[in-house]
Amino acid sequence: LLPEGYEKNGPKLKEIQDKATAAMVRDVAHQFLTPANRTPTLVDHVLMFDSVAGKYLPDRAVLIAEGKVAAVAAGGSIKPPAGAMVIDGRGKTLSPGLWDSHQHVGDDWNLLQNVATGMTNYRSPGSLIDDAHSIYRRRAAGDLLAPDGKISVIIDRKDPLAAQGALTVSSAAEAVAAVDKIKQAGLWGAKFYTSMNPAWIAPAAAEAHKLGLHVHGHIPAGMRPLDAVRAGYDEVTHINFIMMQAMPQEVVDKANTAARLEGPAKYGKDVDLDSPAMTAFYAELAKRGTIIDPTLTVWEPMMTSDGSAISPEYAPFADIAPPAVARSWRVGGYPLFGGLTRDDFRKSFDKMVGLVNRLHKAGVRIVAGTDGYGLELVRELELYQQAGLSNAEALQTATIIPARITGMADRAGSIAPGKAADIILVDGDTSKDLGTLRHVNTVFLDGYRLDGTALRTASGLSGMPK
C-alpha cells in the first residue's frame, strides 16, 4: 500500500525488493549447488513409483550419477561407485519429482520453497515475458534454486476486466501478433482469458498451433468450454470453466465477472453430471485429447470454509510457517449470497469433485495444478483420489502426464536409466498415503542431492509438515 500521490514509487520499490530478494536467494543457491552435493548417490532398498506403469515397485535400488539416473535394479544388486553416498531407502518412497501444472511464478523465495516441498518442475499458465527470461537465465547460471518451468503468456482483450499481466489485444490480427510475440520470446504456450472476443480464439489458436505452442486458458465470456475446445483449446484450466458447460446462459455471458465464481457456486449443486448432454461432452473432450487442469484446491476453501479452521490445503504447514502467513490461511470462503448457505456451496463443490470423476472415467487427461503457492499440490492429488482416481493415477497427474504434455517425457516425469535425476525421496509409504509426499527427505534437482530439512529451513519453514 502507498499513500495517494506516491503511486509512481511502486515500481521503484518493487525493483529494489526484487534485487534484494534475488541476492538473498542467490546466496542460498550457492550453498546448495556445490560439487559436494553432486557426487553419485545410491538409494537402496526403496519403494519406487514407476509412473509409466502406474504402480509401486518394492525393494528397488536406484543409482544417480552425473545428473542422470545411471541404473535401476533390485535392492542390494548395485555396487555403489567410489565416493558415492548410500541412502537406506527402507521405510521411504522414491518418486519422480512433482510438477505443479498451474503455478503462476511467485518471487524467488516461493520458487525455493517449491523445491523444498518436492517440486522439480512446473508450468506457469501466465507470466510476464521479462520475468520468465530472468528466471531461466538465473537458474541456468546457478543463481536461483528453482524447479524447471514451462511458461505461457496470457492474451486478453483490452478491457477494464482484462487479466493483469496480459498481452492485451483489440482485434483478431492483434491476437495473432500476440501469439507471434510469445513464440519469439521462446516460451511454451498461449493462455486466453475471459474477456477475449470469442471470434478471435480460432485464428489465434491456429497461429499458436502452427508455431508449436500449447493453447489453454479460461473460457471467454459468451463461450462454453466445448466451444473453446472446438475453436482450438488444447486444455481448459479450472473446474469451474468445465462446469460452465451446464450453466445458464446468463452465467456464461458474464463469465469475465464474478459470475464465473458465483454461477458454479449457485447452480453447481443441481447439475446432473450423468445427463446425456454432459456424457456427450465428456466423450468429445476425450476424443479430442483435451486436457483438464481442475485446480480443485482453489475451490475447496472458497466453497467449503466457514473460517473456523485452516483448510486442508494449508493445515499440514500451519505449525511450521511464519505466524503471519499461518494467520492468513484462517479465512472464510466466498461470501454467501442470494439466500444460499455454506452447505449449498459445499454441495456444489462436491459436484466439482464428481465432475473430475466423470472426466477421468471418460478417459479425459487430468493434470494437477494449484494456482497457489504450490503448497497445495499434495492436497490436489488427495482430492483426485476422492474423485475416484487411484493413488497411482493421482500421482501420475503430477509426474508423467505433465512431462508428456510438455514434450519432456523422454527426460523427465519418470525414473529410468538415462533420464534426468529430478527425483524426490520421501519418508513413508506413498502407496498407502499420498500425504507422505509432504515429508520430503531429499530432493534430486538437476543431479544435485539436496537435503530436505536444509531446504525447508532455507525457505522459511521451521520443520516437517504434518
9 domain residue, yes or no = no
447 confidence band (pLDDT: 50, 70, 90): confident
Distance CA(326)–CA(309), nearest Å, equals 11
20 domain residue, yes or no = no
Question: What total of structural domains would you count in the chain?
Answer: 2
DSSP 3-state assignment of 326?
A: helix
Kindly state whether residues 166 and 46 are assigned to the same domain. Answer: no
13 confidence band (pLDDT: 50, 70, 90): very high
Express each pLDDT in 79-136 by its tens digit: 999 999 999 999 999 999 999 999 998 789 999 999 999 999 999 999 999 999 999 9
For the four alpha carbons of 128, 131, 133 and 139, in that order, the dihedral sign comes to: negative
Identify the H or E element spanning 331. none
pLDDT given for residue 136 in this prediction: 96
Question: What share of the chain has pLDDT > 70, as a percent?
Answer: 100
Identify the H or E element spanning 250. helix 249-252
The C-alpha cell 492429488 sits at 381
CATH number at residue 84: 2.30.40.10
Kindly state whether residues 78 and 133 are assigned to the same domain. Answer: no
Q: Is the model's pLDDT at 331 over the cut of 90?
A: no
pLDDT given for residue 297 in this prediction: 98
Kindly state whether residues 240 and 389 are assigned to the same domain. Answer: yes
219 confidence band (pLDDT: 50, 70, 90): very high
Rounded to the nearest 5 degrees, what angle is found at the Cα of 397, between the Cα atoms of 180 and 66?
A: 80
Kindly state whether residues 445 and 355 are assigned to the same domain. Answer: no
DSSP structural state of residue 81 = P
11 domain residue, yes or no = no
Alpha helices in 269-336 (DSSP H): 276-288, 296-304, 323-328
429 confidence band (pLDDT: 50, 70, 90): very high
Distance CA(329)–CA(269), nearest Å, equals 26
Question: What is the rounded average pLDDT for all residues in the chain?
Answer: 97
Pairing mode of beta strands 167-169, 189-192:
unpaired
pLDDT given for residue 106 in this prediction: 76
385 confidence band (pLDDT: 50, 70, 90): very high
- The three cell numbers of residue 29 are 543457491
Question: Which amino acid appears at position 366 of this protein?
Answer: I
13 domain residue, yes or no = no
- In angstroms, the Cα distances linking 35 to 25, 26, 138, 449 are 19, 16, 18, 10
Print the domain residue range for 268.
Answer: 98-405
Distance CA(68)–CA(420), nearest Å, equals 4
Express each pLDDT in 408-417 by its tens digit: 999 999 999 9
Kindly state whether residues 41 and 125 are assigned to the same domain. Answer: no
Kindly state whether residues 163 and 240 are assigned to the same domain. Answer: yes
Kindly state whether residues 423 and 398 are assigned to the same domain. Answer: no
Express each pLDDT in 234-265 by its tens digit: 999 999 999 999 999 999 999 999 999 999 99
Kindly state whether residues 376 and 252 are assigned to the same domain. Answer: yes
- Backbone φ and ψ for 241, nearest 5 degrees, come out as -75, -25
- The three cell numbers of residue 368 are 494437477
DSSP structural state of residue 161 = T
40 domain residue, yes or no = yes
Kindly state whether residues 147 and 51 are assigned to the same domain. Answer: no
296 confidence band (pLDDT: 50, 70, 90): very high
The C-alpha cell 458454479 sits at 264
Distance CA(130)–CA(324), nearest Å, equals 30
CATH number at residue 281: 3.20.20.140
Other residues' Cβ atoms within 10 Å of the Cβ of residue 344: 18
Predicted structure pTM score: 0.96
DSSP states along 367-427: ----SSSSTTHHHHHHHHHHTT--HHHHHHTTTHHHHHHTT-TTTSSS--TTSB--EEEEE
pLDDT given for residue 157 in this prediction: 97
Q: Is the model's pLDDT at 1 over the cut of 90?
A: no
Identify the H or E element spanning 271. none
7 domain residue, yes or no = no
pLDDT given for residue 179 in this prediction: 98
306 domain residue, yes or no = yes
pLDDT given for residue 387 in this prediction: 98
Other residues' Cβ atoms within 10 Å of the Cβ of residue 31: 12
Express each pLDDT in 27-77 by its tens digit: 999 999 999 999 999 999 999 999 999 999 999 999 999 999 999 999 999
Kindly state whether residues 150 and 229 are assigned to the same domain. Answer: yes
Buried-state track 102-114, b at ≥16 Cβ within 10 A, e below 16:
bbbbeebebbbbb
Kindly state whether residues 350 and 432 are assigned to the same domain. Answer: no
29 domain residue, yes or no = no
Kindly state whether residues 215 and 330 are assigned to the same domain. Answer: yes
pLDDT given for residue 336 in this prediction: 96
